[in-house]
Amino acid sequence: MSILIDKSMCVGCGKCMDVCPGNLIKRNSEGKAYICHPGDCWGCASCVKTCGMDAICLYLGPDMGGLGATLTVEIKGPIREWKVKDVKGQETTIRVDQRKSNQY
């Protein structure tokens, strides 16, 4: 599992770099974020949730959604909408209410 960063959407704010527990995200010479060791990413999704520009998605392996599927999250107050998009572009939304997270 790793992440994909859309450099055209990245504004170089550095928030993803601050939250990555593995210190895997760096800035390139243009000030845009990139992942330096994709194989070390364990898919915690902290960077995905933190990026306010929706520039980062998780790239899912064949065990989760099929090769080439991606995962993004939209934060609406206490609601997290996780969106899985498969290789054909079909999207599935998983809605999680953080206020009820202790009930899961």
Q: Is the CA virtual torsion 101, 90, 53, 21 positive or negative? A: positive
32 vs 86 by CB, closer to ligand SF4: 32
Q: Is 60 in the site for ligand SF4 (CB under 6 A)?
A: no
Q: Is residue 49 at the binding interface for ligand SF4, with CB under 6 A as the rule?
A: no
- For residue 4, what are the contacts with CB-CB under 8 A and spacing of at least 6? 56, 57, 58, 59, 70
Decide whether 47 or 69 has the Cβ nearer to ligand SF4: 47
List binders of ligand SF4 among 79-98 (CB under 6 A).
Answer: none
Helix (H) or strand (E) holding 34: strand 33-35
Residue 61 binding ligand SF4, by CB under 6 A: no
Alpha-helical (H) ranges within the chain are 15-19, 46-50
Q: Which residues bind ligand SF4 (CB under 6 A)?
A: 3, 5, 10-16, 19-22, 24-25, 33, 35, 41-47, 50-51, 53, 55-56
